[in-house]
């Protein structure tokens, strides 16, 4: 048993080492890794397309000026992924106040964003880095 | 099981009538967790802070699970159901049947040990994916042996029932493992149970609960597939039967929000008279609502 326990501890250590090794900082910004303005635009266009075909989420956007949403969202993603842009839209609280977005609908929107990124051929691991940037913003926009 | 299922369905229909809750599908794929071998939302052998099923704040969910563990000299079957309300509380019911080897059957104490586990867990803080700090939950597993004869015969202090209390912390770190999503869980369990309770609770020399640490770590290789490792510290109360810590390595597949299947290689160490018990763990959870 102690031999087996040692073996499991070794695996544990190996996993930890691998994890810390893999977590080393990427040199490029996420924006650059995505492929810059062109790819961000492609993702946002795919995302809008996904929203239009999802009844639940489209409900939120019925009155929205889609051109403005398109432009501001590109700026927003660009800024937060480390790109050379300026965000000229409203704050997340201002924009989403009154919508009463639920946890479930937030996650559904995340699914749509994942679909949008997948269709733009963004690799899985890079998708997660994008999600990691935007996930902490959730508290500024649900149930308000 | 039929009665349990009916009771579960009834409870759900009643709830659905008096609360505008919808079916549990609001969590992100693969973040519902699995059902652990005692029926609580978790990993495979460790209860996690996760509330079983895909329900978020406005939703309820019901799931059913079945787990089969086949190690060198023993087999364990577990099946059960759980009801989760608003990603806040989880009620679970599980039945474990533990097949005894022929050497024990010859003693005339029966050919299997059956145990029912009533579980309840409440989420105290946080969100597995979104909060800065981990999701924290407190849970109870009340275990009742169908027949305490074996437990009594081998020297358990309490031969037919016992209760475990646990505090669990779980967290997903998006992209943290070289871009892959990482999940970890740490659980502290106060327990008296010998081999989860199948061999009774405590002993002549061990009369109180002891705190055991349990941990899991996993990496999501894709949106649907996770691999990981678990470790469960166990008490060693019975003088005659050594009890070892448990460990497993698992691979878990979540094709959609209705189903999960998990395969693991488990090392359960010494169980009763048999040493080095290793083998397969296979578990499925169906998310029914
Ligand atoms: C982290 C997640 C999110 C981010 C970063 C985000 C970002 C943005 C941005 C930058 C805008 C444009 C702001 C402007 O026009 O000044 C916007 C608008 C909007 N967002 Fe979000 N959003 C998120 C989640 C959601 C979710 C989950 C929903 C609904 C389910 C939603 C619904 C809307 C709607 C309806 C608008 C248009 C508002 C209008 O018509 O003026 N957003 N969002």
Note the pLDDT tens digit of each residue in A95-143: 999 999 999 999 999 999 999 999 999 999 999 999 999 999 999 999 9
Neighbour tally for B65: CB within 10 Å: 25
| Residue in chain A nearest B172 by alpha carbon | A132
ipTM score assigned to the predicted complex: 0.88
Count of C-beta atoms within a 10 Å radius of residue A84: 10
SS (H, E, C) chain A: CHHHHHHHHHHHHHHHHHHHHHCCCCCCCHHHHHCHHHHHHHHHHHHHHHHHCCHHHHHHHCCCCHHHHHHHHHHHHHHHCCCCCCCCCCCHHHHHCCCCECHHHHHHHHHHHHHHHHHCCCCHHHHHHHHHHHHHHHHHCECC
Q: Which of A12, A21, A110 sits opposite B28 (nearest CB)?
A: A110
With a cut of 80, say whether residue B18 has pLDDT above it.
no
- Three-state DSSP string of B118-170: EEEEEEEECCCCCCCCCEEEEEEEEEEECCCHHHHHCCCCECCEEEEEEEEEE
* Chain segment B191-233, per-residue pLDDT in tens: 999 999 999 999 999 989 999 999 999 999 999 999 999 999 9
pLDDT bracket for residue B245 (50, 70, 90)? very high
Q: Which residues line ligand 1 (CB under 6 A)?
A: A 57, 60-61, 63-64, 68-69, 72-73, 76, 89-90, 95-96, 101, 105-106, 109, 134, 137, 141
Query: B11 C-alpha to center of ligand 1: Å?
Result: 37
Mean pLDDT calculated for residue range B182-198: 97
Q: Report the range of poorest mean pLDDT among A81-85, B8-12, B125-129, B264-268.
A: B8-12
Phi, psi dihedral angles at B164 (to 5 degrees): -100, 145
Question: What is residue A24's predicted lDDT score, i.e. its pLDDT?
Answer: 54
Looking at per-residue pLDDT, the higher value among B273 and A8 belongs to B273
Structure confidence by residue, pLDDT tens digits, B46-78: 999 999 999 999 999 999 999 999 999 999 999
User: B72 to chain A, minimum CA–CA distance in Å?
Assistant: 14
The 10s digit of each residue's pLDDT in B138-151 is 999 999 999 999 99
Report the residue of chain B nearest A21, measured CA to CA: B178
Q: Which domain holds residue B216?
A: 2-287
Q: Would the CB atoms of A104 and B59 count as touching at under 8 Å?
A: yes
- More confident position, A25 or B51: B51
Average pLDDT over residues A15-30: 63
Query: Residue B232 and residue A3: Cα distance in Å, rounded?
Result: 17
Ligand 1 centre distance from Cα of residue A37 (Å): 19
Give me the mean pLDDT over the B102-124 stretch: 89
Contacts of A114 in chain B (CB under 8 A): 223
Let me know the angle formed at the C-alpha of B122 by B121 and B123, rounded to the nearest 5 degrees.
Answer: 125
Please tell me which residue of chain B has the smallest CA distance to A110: B28
Indicate the fold that domain A28-140 takes in CATH. Answer: Globin-like (1.10.490)
CA-based nearest residue to B177, from A125, A118, A8, A114: A125
Report the pLDDT averaged over residues A76-84.
98
Look at B180 and A125 and tell me if their CB atoms are within 8 Å. Answer: yes
| Number of domains comprising chain B | 1
Contact list, B217 vs chain A (CB under 8 Å) = 12, 15
More confident residue, B102 or A134: A134
Quote the CA–CA distance of A4 and B114 in Å, as a whole number. 29
pLDDT at A7 over 70: no
pLDDT at A1: 44
Best mutation site among A63, A66, A95 for ligand 1 pocket (most ligand atoms within 8 Å of CB): A95
Mean pLDDT of B175-186: 98
Rounded to the nearest angstrom, the distance between the alpha carbon of A126 and the centre of ligand 1 is 22
CA distance B32 to B37: 16
Average pLDDT value over all residues in chain B: 92
> What is the CATH number for B280?
2.40.160.40
**Alpha-carbon Rg for chain A in angstroms:** 19
pLDDT for A65 equals 98
Whether pLDDT at B109 is above 80: no
Contact B249, B229 (CB under 8 A): yes
pLDDT beyond 50 at B173: yes
pLDDT above 70 covers a percentage of chain A that reads 82
pLDDT at B108: 78
Q: What is residue A3's predicted lDDT score, i.e. its pLDDT?
A: 47
Taking CA atoms, B78 is separated from A105, B48, B157, B202, in Å, by: 34, 18, 25, 23
Distance from CA of A71 to the nearest CA of B (A): 26
Q: What is the number of other CB atoms lying within 10 angstroms of the CB of residue A37?
A: 14
Give B248 to chain A, closest Cα distance, Å: 9
Look at residue B23 in the predicted model and tell me its pLDDT.
Answer: 78
B35 with B65: CB under 8 angstroms? yes
Q: 3-state class of B207 per DSSP? A: coil
Asked if residue A81 has pLDDT above 80, the reply is: yes
CA distance B265 to B249: 5
Q: Indicate whether B29 pLDDT > 50.
A: yes
Domain ranges of chain A: 28-140
> Measured between beta carbons, which residues in chain A are less than 8 angstroms from residue B26?
102-105, 107-108
């Amino acid at each position: 048993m102690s031999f087996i326990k040692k073996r499991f501890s070794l695996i544990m250590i190996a996993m930890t080492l691998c994890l810390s090794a893999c977590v080393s900082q990427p040199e490029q910004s996420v924006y650059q890794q995505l492929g810059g303005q062109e790819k961000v635009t492609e993702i946002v266009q795919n995302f809008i397309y996904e929203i239009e075909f999802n009844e639940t989420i489209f409900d939120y956007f019925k009155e929205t000026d889609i051109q403005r949403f398109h432009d501001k969202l590109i700026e927003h993603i660009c800024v937060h992924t480390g790109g050379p842009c300026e965000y000229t839209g409203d704050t997340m609280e201002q924009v989403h106040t009154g919508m009463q977005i639920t946890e479930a609908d937030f996650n559904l929107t995340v699914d749509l964003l994942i679909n949008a990124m997948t269709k733009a051929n963004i690799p899985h691991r890079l998708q997660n880095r994008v999600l990691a940037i935007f996930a902490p913003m959730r508290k500024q926009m649900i149930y308000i | 099981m039929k009665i349990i299922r009916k009771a579960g369905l009834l409870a759900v229909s009643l709830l659905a009538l008096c609360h505008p809750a919808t079916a549990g599908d609001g969590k992100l794929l693969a973040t519902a967790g699995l059902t652990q071998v005692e029926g609580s939302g978790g990993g495979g052998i460790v209860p996690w802070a996760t509330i079983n099923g895909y329900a978020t704040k406005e939703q309820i969910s019901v799931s059913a699970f079945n787990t089969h563990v086949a190690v060198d000299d023993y087999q364990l079957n577990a099946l059960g159901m759980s009801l989760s309300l608003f990603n806040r509380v989880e009620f679970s019911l599980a039945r474990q049947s533990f097949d005894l080897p022929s050497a024990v059957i010859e003693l005339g104490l029966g050919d299997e040990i059956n145990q029912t586990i009533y579980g309840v867990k409440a989420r105290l803080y946080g969100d597995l994916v979104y909060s800065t700090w981990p999701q924290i939950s407190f849970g109870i597993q009340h275990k009742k042996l169908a027949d305490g004869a074996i437990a009594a015969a081998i020297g358990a202090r309490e031969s037919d029932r016992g209760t475990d209390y646990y505090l669990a912390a779980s967290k997903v770190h998006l992209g943290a493992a070289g871009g892959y999503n990482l999940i970890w869980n740490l659980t502290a369990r106060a327990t008296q149970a010998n081999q989860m309770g199948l061999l009774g609770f405590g002993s002549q020399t061990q009369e109180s609960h002891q705190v055991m640490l349990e941990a899991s770590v996993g990496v999501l290789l894709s949106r649907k597939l996770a691999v990981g490792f678990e470790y469960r510290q166990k008490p060693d109360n019975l003088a005659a039967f050594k009890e070892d810590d448990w460990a497993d390595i698992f691979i878990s597949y979540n094709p959609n929000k209705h189903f999960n299947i998990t395969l693991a290689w488990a090392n359960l160490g010494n169980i009763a008279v048999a040493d080095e018990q290793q083998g397969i763990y296979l578990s499925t959870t169906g998310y029914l609502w």
